[in-house]
């Protein structure tokens, strides 16, 4: 059984696969870097959960 299947087993919500920075395409990487910049400029008030993505 895969990790993805085990995580979803017995729960009502489907488990999301972890997306790594290396597997993102260029647009997704730029969006993530942009969100991180806004996070640091606003001292964490904007996008407070950026590092859980």
Q: Is the pLDDT of residue 8 over 80?
A: no
Tally of structural domains, the chain: 1
| Coil/strand/helix, residue 6 | helix
**In-domain check, residue 29:** yes
- 34: containing domain: 20-53
Tokens of 23: 């597997």
Helix, strand, coil abundance in the chain, percent, nearest 5:
55, 0, 45
Higher pLDDT, 9 or 26: 26
User: Which CA distances in Å does 17 have to 3, 6, 7, 8, 34?
Assistant: 9, 12, 10, 10, 22
Tell me the average pLDDT across 4-12.
59
Does any domain span residue 14? Answer: no
pLDDT digit string (tens) for 15-43? Answer: 777 888 889 999 999 998 998 898 888 88
Average pLDDT estimate for 11-18: 70
Q: Whole-model pTM?
A: 0.55
Which pLDDT does position 28 carry in this prediction?
92
């Amino acid at each position: 059984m895969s990790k993805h299947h085990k995580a979803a087993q017995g729960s009502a919500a489907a488990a999301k696969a972890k997306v790594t920075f290396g597997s993102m395409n260029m647009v997704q990487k730029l969006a993530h870097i942009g969100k991180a910049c806004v996070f640091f400029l606003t001292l964490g008030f904007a996008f407070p959960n950026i590092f859980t993505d």
